[in-house]
Structure 1
Amino acid sequence: MVYWTICVERMHPDAERACYPTLRAGSGRNTRDRLVTVRRRDLVVFGGIVALIYGLRALPWDRLAGRGPRYVFLADLPPFRRLESGGQTSGATLALFGLDPASGDADVRRARADAMRADPCPALFGAGGAQDLVPIAYFSEFRCPYCRALERDLDTLIAEYPASFRLVQHELPIFGPPSELAARASIAAARQGKQQELRRRFMRTPLVAEEASVLRVAADIGLDVDRLTRDMASPEVQTDLDRTRALADVFGFVGTPGLVIGRTVLNGAIPYALLRRIAEDETSMAVPVC
């Protein structure tokens, strides 16, 4: 109710009557002073509610309940496992953007996934990474609201445990051409060592839908724009996207965000306390994962 009142105050052309119907025209300064006091009190209450929600979200609920996360091993994907329950995802469906891959494309995707299923680790965690660190494979989409929250949590986790984890980025564009354009730019920027910088710029601003806008952002952070343009259209970037889609099919990701923390597969955003506990569980196990 408080939130609705605040929204109406901001948007309604006759805000005082809409939010406080007892106020009458010409009812005097005292009534208006009381109105201001009520508004301030509502804002304080609203702020307290928001703080409470975020405070509760940060509590270690799994530990307070006296047990840790429960895992289910994936019989067809050893040594991987998943949580008994998932998180919140942004999914790509026909209702969202009307894409229905042709049967030939579906057959190709299925063949890629089948070929990768026997040994997904090289594509999932990359080659040449530090073998004494727990790898975190992160599947994201630039227009996914849950991804933004999860990325902040991942930054916090890695800052808290800098000698324990390494992040492997996977771009999984599921919301049509604008998302794929941004994903291609991100993958191409990695070749110039500025993938995360470009990604953070995209995350802070509305997703650009045209190549010219993407290239302006790239120029702003010092990327070689001509090289970026060539790389975005290269077969290697297409191969990277195809490989990520195949991995998503193998691990059953129906939306974003997707995570594979060591052996643990997660599809969706989860509270930071749970993310941290899963990560701690993984650090207690042997590395490399596979």
Structure 2
Amino acid sequence: MDSKRRSTLLTIGVVIAGYAALRTVPSLLPEKLELQALDSPAGFRKYVAGETSGGFDPFVGLGTADSTEVAAQKAAALQRVSENICSALYGDLSPTPTQVPMASFSDYYCPFCRVQTKRLADMTGEMPDRITVAWHELPLLGDTSNLAAKAALAAKRQNAYVAFHERLMKSPFQATPEYLSRLASDLGVDSDKLVADMQSAAIARELEDSAALARVFAFVGTPALVIGRTVVQGQISDNLVREIIALEREEGWRDVCTAA
């Protein structure tokens, strides 16, 4: 290979590598926090970020009922979450006066979710006095995503959600009943109870409520966040997350949730 061709190939390689780095490491991208008020829900505002996976109906995989019944499920879930948006978002979290609650919506097979979830988990460990997170399952990428989401929520019934969540986010394997059974065994989870809970009405309802929240905030894919009262679609940098947290602490996110 002549030197000119080698130089050209090296240049192309550098450009490709640089582009890939910018796409996969959002902290390298210039970001400016510009927020737009939402008409609904009142008091919330949005920031639209970059990398997102998915774009399907959030109710895909929740059942095989006919369209009339699915429409009724959607309407019921939407009514439930609309009665108290903050409660639906943040569930059983009890933030201290210095903490800002965050709701994270993710799919186990969304590559951007895998990156952002790890970073958010690290961040909560670094500043537990400033942030607390509620994790929402939003399986948009097909039946495998839906199966993994149900398994994680079933594991939560055995106090093993965090362990299941971490393993599924890191695993190169697609979820299958056999894989989930082995994973349950590895983590000391009762696999028979796990399977039974995966088919329960309670877990179906939890997925329906997260899907309804996604519709309320017009999420078109994952990852997605609600930080206090700031809605974020797509993966964003740690710096921007910290900036939003600081803004929510300063401006008092509780006022919106109290009024909701």
- CA distance, structure 1, for counterparts of residue 66 and residue 50 of structure 2: 26
Q: 1:242 to 1:47 in 2, by over 3 A?
A: closer
2:229 aligns with: 263
1:129 aligns with: 94
Structure 1 unpaired stretches of 5+: 1-22, 24-30, 63-67
Where 1:282 maps in the other structure, the secondary structure is helix
- CA distance, structure 1, for counterparts of residue 29 and residue 249 of structure 2: 18
- Kindly provide the CA deviation profile for residues 172-197 of structure 1, in whole angstroms up to 9, marking residues without a partner as x: 11122211111011011112222121
- CA distance, structure 2, for counterparts of residue 49 and residue 128 of structure 1: 40
Cα drift, residue 168 of structure 1? 0.2
Q: Would you say 1:180 and 2:149 are equivalent positions?
A: no
**Which of the two has higher C-alpha Rg?**
1
Q: TM-score, normalised by structure 1?
A: 0.73
Q: 1:56 to 1:148 in 2, by over 3 A?
A: closer
1:102 aligns with: 67
Q: 1:55 to 1:205 in 2, by over 3 A?
A: closer
Q: TM-score, normalised by structure 2?
A: 0.81
Q: Would you say 1:91 and 2:54 are equivalent positions?
A: yes
- CA distance, structure 2, for counterparts of residue 76 and residue 55 of structure 1: 32
Q: Would you say 1:233 and 2:233 are equivalent positions?
A: no
1:148 aligns with: 114
1:170 aligns with: 136
Which of these residues, 243, 246, 259, is aligned with residue 280 of structure 1? 246
- Contact 1:188–1:231 (8 Å) recurs in 2: yes
Matches within 5 A, 1:1-290: 23=1, 49=18, 53=22, 57-58=26-27, 61-62=30-31, 69-83=33-47, 85-93=48-56, 102-127=67-92, 129-132=94-97, 133-288=99-254, 290=257
- Contact 2:26–2:236 (8 Å) recurs in 1: no
Q: 1:124 to 1:101 in 2, by over 3 A?
A: farther
Larger relative contact order, structure 1 or 2 (CA cutoff 8 Å, min sep 6) = 2
- Kindly provide the CA deviation profile for residues 143-193 of structure 1, in whole angstroms up to 9, marking residues without a partner as x: 111101111221232233221111101101112221111101101111222
Cα drift, residue 50 of structure 1? 7.9
Q: 1:228 to 1:47 in 2, by over 3 A?
A: same
- Contact 1:59–1:273 (8 Å) recurs in 2: no
Amino-acid identity (%): 34
1:17 aligns with: none
- Contact 2:73–2:208 (8 Å) recurs in 1: no
Q: 1:100 to 1:238 in 2, by over 3 A?
A: closer
- Contact 2:104–2:226 (8 Å) recurs in 1: yes
- CA distance, structure 2, for counterparts of residue 91 and residue 60 of structure 1: 22
- Contact 2:107–2:222 (8 Å) recurs in 1: yes
Structure 2 unpaired stretches of 5+: none
Cα drift, residue 45 of structure 1? 5.8
1:65 aligns with: none
Counterpart amino acid of residue 124 in structure 1: L
- CA distance, structure 1, for counterparts of residue 156 and residue 243 of structure 2: 30
| Alignment length (residue pairs) | 250
Counterpart amino acid of residue 237 in structure 2: P
Counterpart amino acid of residue 123 in structure 1: A
- Contact 1:60–1:273 (8 Å) recurs in 2: no
